[in-house]
Amino acid sequence: MYESTRGNLSGQRASQAITLGMVPSGGLFVPSSFPALNWLDLQGLSYRDVAKRVMMPYLPDFSEDILSEIVNVYSDGTFDGSNPVPLVSVGNFGVLELWHGPTAAFKDMALQVLPDLLKVSLKLFNRDEDVLILVATSGDTGKAALEGFKNRAGMHIVVFYPEGGVSPVQERQMTTTEGVNTHVVAVKGNFDECQTAVKHIFASDALKAKLLEKQLIFSSANSINWGRLLPQIVYYFWAYLRAVEQGNIAPGGQMNVVVPTGNFGNLQAAYYAKCMGLPIDRIICASNKNNVLADFFKTGVYQSQRDFFQTISPSMDILVSSNFERFLYEMSGRDAKKIQSWYDASNQGSFTVDPATLKKCQDTVYAGWADEEETFETISQSYKAYQYVFDPHTAVAVKVYKDYLSATNDPTFTVIASTASPFKFASNVLTGLEGEQKESWGDEWKALDYLSQLTGWKIPVGLQELDKKPAKKVDVCEPEEITELLQKMFIGKEVS
């Protein structure tokens, strides 16, 4: 069963939590307890079968046969090769490549599964309305969600991204998505403003009532939705299995995990894997210049009302980390009253946790951050040392891991979650590799080819010839105009 982090809803089935996306009156769904799972029982299984074993205890209202069909996406050719998530040894650590799906980002690991989880949940929940999926994206979630939901009967998806706040490749991926049910909107503001506006829409009873008249209900594909977060737990078990198999960890030994994060969902999934019994020791949180999380773990003060920076790692350009609420719920001993007080709107994005909660946070997570110069330097040094190409997000994680090693000398084998292909950010990766921008690269599309020629790495299929694909019309609006735009899209006309 599932309950709200704010104590305002409990006793919800998995299908209800997935259908609703987030708690209507505020808060996020969390499982009432965590099932124990022995990694030894997963040895020798394919990724598909590991996914089934990890997810099944959380989905008691799903039949085993149905879940088997859902996770089959990991072995049906949607992802590259027979191993959709390779663990590659780089120096003295492992790199978990989470970007071998159709959009070349880690979001595919969950967003190729969520549409079917939602479809089944609606049926179990006895809802026959169409679903309107709203997604705020800082870059990668948007395309992965569009790809997962495109041309799905009974489902419509609108993705909102910050105008000028994503990479050219990320933007082009979104605007060239096919599908009669897909819509893309550029919002004049940053990701936090997009995300806040979407959350307000979810809480609007008036808009929900109007949509219901059109036989439409809301749901979310962001990691606030439990159905998005659950599949992400799987690859931490997979990483451990591969590390043992490769001899990097003695059976039963500990593993550290480094996660570059903005919205905290990927890191939260690692913590949940630990709650299930996976031998994870330290979880290392890596932030870019938008270092609200690093500051929190140092001081216990969460302060999102600060300067916002557009960086070369745009998917991490976030100051309001939605999934952090789930983490604080666990760190506070599941004290819903504390969560409610910290996330009270009157706090305006700033709160201070109590000393006991802060100590638990610090004992669980080490946090650090890297600036732009350090990120470029890490891309360059890593390629020279290992002939391995990191995207700007994973490079942040590598830099923070090196800082952690300097501070602790911790010999524990560490896995770094690599969240995107370097080709999604080709110009910035090339700047890191060559020390400066060069006219010979040409535009972003020529930079893809140049990066491939320079490194010998292949351009992911989903990024090839993006510039030649027809782009759909993109609506542009202010954050406060999103509600009006949705009404024009879905209430002012018949839904097709």
Q: What are phi and psi of 291, to 5 degrees?
A: -100, 40
Query: Residue 250: CA atoms inside 13 Å, Cβ hemisphere, count?
Result: 3
Adjacent-strand bridge partners of 475: 185
Which residue from 330, 322, 1 is spatially nearest to 136, judged by alpha carbons?
322
Closest CA to 61 of 17, 105, 106: 17
Q: How far apart (Å, rounded) are the C-alpha atoms in residues 491 and 293?
A: 39
Q: Which residue has the tokens 């808060």?
A: 27
> Which neighbouring-strand residues pair with 31?
2
6, 115 Cβ separation under 8 angstroms = no
472 is catalytic: no
> Checking DSSP bridges between strand 2-4 and strand 414-418, what pairing results, if any?
unpaired
Q: φ and ψ at 209, to 5 degrees?
A: -65, -40
Contact 144, 103 (CB under 8 A): yes
Tokens of 449: 């080819």
Longest dimension (CA), the chain: 62
Bridge partners, residue 356, by sequence = none
Q: Which amino acid is at 451?
A: L
Pairing of the two strands 414-418 and 301-303: unpaired
Q: 113-116, long-range: CB within 8 Å, 24+ apart, which pairs?
A: 113/51, 113/70, 113/71, 113/73, 113/148, 113/227, 113/231, 114/145, 114/148, 114/221, 114/225, 114/227, 114/228, 114/231, 115/148, 115/149, 115/152, 115/155, 116/69, 116/70, 116/73
Please name the residue that has the structure tokens 């000393």: 355
Catalytic residue among 107, 119, 143, 424: 107
* Beta carbons of 74 and 144 less than 8 angstroms apart: no
- Of 207, 222, 187, nearest in space to 490 by CA: 207
Residues 274 and 279: their CA atoms lie apart, in Å, by 6
Active-site positions read 107
